[in-house]
Chain A
Amino acid sequence: DAGVIQSPRHEVTEMGQEVTLRCKLISGHNSLFWYRQTMMRGLELLIYFNNNVPIDDSGMPEDRFSAKMPNASFSTLKIQPSEPRDSAVYFCASSRFDRGPGGYTFGSGTRLTVV
């Protein structure tokens, strides 16, 4: 299994531009989580999906952020327009929620820099 795959690994963009981060889940997993990691705020849960349905988006900081799961294996996190304070490492993670408590498998993250 290739694990959770995120792209791009690094993204540098100018303030005001649209940014799209991508995530491919592990085959057979049905929960998808987007986290943001910064030195100041640690790991923050932004949104999570079960069976492609958004369950909790209370962590999404603003309307500039949106996330979708167009199919069972793929998700995108979009920031439009981007701002310097959005600079962080964004992780997605997946799991099987119907098998009871268990850990997540994280991707390697996308390091976003907004200048």
Chain B
Amino acid sequence: QQQVKQSPQSLIVQKGGISIINCAYENTAFDYFPWYQQFPGKGPALLIAIRPDVSEKKEGRFTISFNKSAKQFSLHIMDSQPGDSATYFCAARSSNTGGFKTIFGAGTRLFVKA
């Protein structure tokens, strides 16, 4: 019930194309859904996040779509660029009496071809 399932494992997209990464969760106690971007040799960095009372959030070329009833959410990268090549993690966080605990998906390695 704590898992966050992410797909695909890897993705190759042409420059200018749309990259789509999907995630699914089971635990309805999750109340915050961030996406992180990780470059080689670096720690993950927060990219964009959404709460379950919102169906879509857009920041620049990055959009999260959220389907609460299906317990699914996805990241769309519009006009993908070679600089977007990185590993992307979806995550889900639950509030509890002690604070916030984030569970990460397995990650998607994105490669954008120039």
Identify the A interface with B (CB < 8 A).
4, 31, 33, 35, 42-43, 45, 48, 50, 55-56, 91, 93, 95, 97, 101-109
Identify the B interface with A (CB < 8 A).
31-32, 34, 36, 41-46, 49, 51, 89, 93, 95, 98-107
How many angstroms from the CA of A93 to the CA of B44 in the assembled complex?
Answer: 9
What's the dominant secondary structure at chain A's contact region?
A: strand
B26 CB to closest chain A CB (Å) equals 17
Known: A42-B105, A103-B34, A103-B49. A97 touches B100 (CB 8 A): yes
The 8 Å CB contact of B42, one of A55, A105, A108, is A108
Q: Are A101 and B89 in contact (CB under 8 A)?
A: no
B59 CB to closest chain A CB (Å) equals 13
- What residue of chain B has the Cβ atom nearest to residue A53's Cβ? B98
- What residue of chain B has the Cβ atom nearest to residue A56's Cβ? B101
Give 19 A-B pairs besides A55-B98, A101-B31, A103-B34 with Cβ atoms closer than 8 angstroms: A42-B104, A42-B107, A43-B89, A43-B104, A43-B107, A45-B101, A45-B102, A45-B103, A48-B101, A55-B99, A91-B44, A95-B100, A102-B32, A103-B36, A104-B102, A106-B36, A106-B43, A106-B44, A107-B43
- What residue of chain A has the Cβ atom nearest to residue B93's Cβ? A101
Q: Are B44 and A50 in contact (CB under 8 A)?
A: no
Known: A42-B105, A101-B32, A103-B49. A108 touches B41 (CB 8 A): yes
A92 CB to closest chain B CB (Å) equals 9
- What residue of chain A has the Cβ atom nearest to residue B44's Cβ? A106
The 8 Å CB contact of B43, one of A42, A48, A91, A95, is A91
How many angstroms from the CA of A62 to the CA of B104 in the assembled complex?
Answer: 21
A to B CB contacts below 8 Å, 16 in the list:
A31-B100, A35-B104, A42-B89, A42-B104, A43-B104, A43-B107, A56-B98, A93-B43, A95-B100, A97-B100, A101-B31, A101-B49, A101-B51, A101-B93, A105-B46, A107-B43
